[in-house]
Amino acid sequence: MSTSRRAGREAGPPAARPVPAPPKPESGPITQAIPVVGPSGNRHEAGAGGGEGERSQPSRKRGRRRRRGNRLPDRAIVFVGPMAAGKTSLGKRVARELGIPFVDSDALFVQAHGPIVDFFAAHGEEEFRRIEAEVIAEELAKPGARIFALGGGAVLSERTRALLSEHPVVLLMTTQEAVLRTANISRRPLLRDDPEAWGRILAERKPLYEAVADVTYRTDRATKDQLAVRVTQWVRTQGRGAGSGTSGGRQGGGRSNRQGGARAGGARAGGARQGRTSTRKTKENPSE
């Protein structure tokens, strides 16, 4: 140290500097939770240990908007088609994919009246069709989404066809060769004695199937898993308006099935009906 600076200092050790006192809390503990405003504007509190509190939950309103796209019709989705086209097996798969019940009109009939083969033998086809129409009408009157598979001849009833105008209807088609190769003929009274009758029966009923159907799928040209995905996607589109009971009845026996085949992910969203006056059909396969 220079002589001039040493001369300016007082003799003895340097004086101790005062230590500042800690600040006094204004009120409450210093660990009191502090409200924090998140990016969405929702408030939550940071804990005393400095950790983050509960995260703000997304609004319920936004969640409802997301689920609305997958809303299903509030009534039965009906499968129609010729004998042994796969209505029951595919219907069960689609119902499982959608998480809804599966109902079969033939099973309902058997529960109430016994085996169909025996009923045919004892009472004839005319009485069977009358009771079948009653069973179907009772089931269609019930609310709630479910897959409802009809017997091959159910569309012969004018009453049933009229009721189907208020439901989404899927038509499943196949060929006689596929049926004779895979079906249990002994369980089908109309084919048991004359297996070749399948083609003749289809020729008679095909206009009725097409009149009530909204969309058509060929079950002999894709696997059950592929078809289940496609039909499931189509059914989901019907919850956004179709099948709500607000559309008019059939005009001139026609239903809307927009022209255009199914794509890799299933039938186009255009599978939804546009009006029942059109007789154009939606085919699952573009070559149809």
The whole domain housing 95 covers: 73-248
What is the mean pLDDT of the segment spanning 118-144? 96
pLDDT at 218 exceeding the cut of 80: yes
Binding residues: 84-89, 106, 129, 152, 188, 205
Q: Tell whether 261 is covered by a domain.
A: no
Q: Tell whether 281 is covered by a domain.
A: no
Q: Tell whether 269 is covered by a domain.
A: no
Q: Tell whether 40 is covered by a domain.
A: no
Q: Tell whether 57 is covered by a domain.
A: no
Least Cα distance to 79 among 259, 263, 195, 228 occurs for 228
In this predicted structure, what is the pLDDT of residue 98?
97
Binding residues for substrate: 106, 129, 152, 205
Q: pLDDT-based confidence at 71, cuts 50/70/90?
A: confident
What does the pLDDT look like over 251-269, one tens digit per residue? Answer: 334 454 433 334 333 333 3
CATH number for 107: 3.40.50.300
Q: Tell whether 52 is covered by a domain.
A: no
pLDDT at 52 exceeding the cut of 70: no
In this predicted structure, what is the pLDDT of residue 25?
56
What domain count does the chain have?
1
Q: Tell whether 149 is covered by a domain.
A: yes
Binding residues for Mg(2+): 88
Dihedral of CA 119/120/122/126: which sign?
positive
Binding residues for ATP: 84-89, 188
What does the pLDDT look like over 147-181, one tens digit per residue? Answer: 999 999 999 999 999 999 999 999 999 999 888 88
Q: Tell whether 196 is covered by a domain.
A: yes
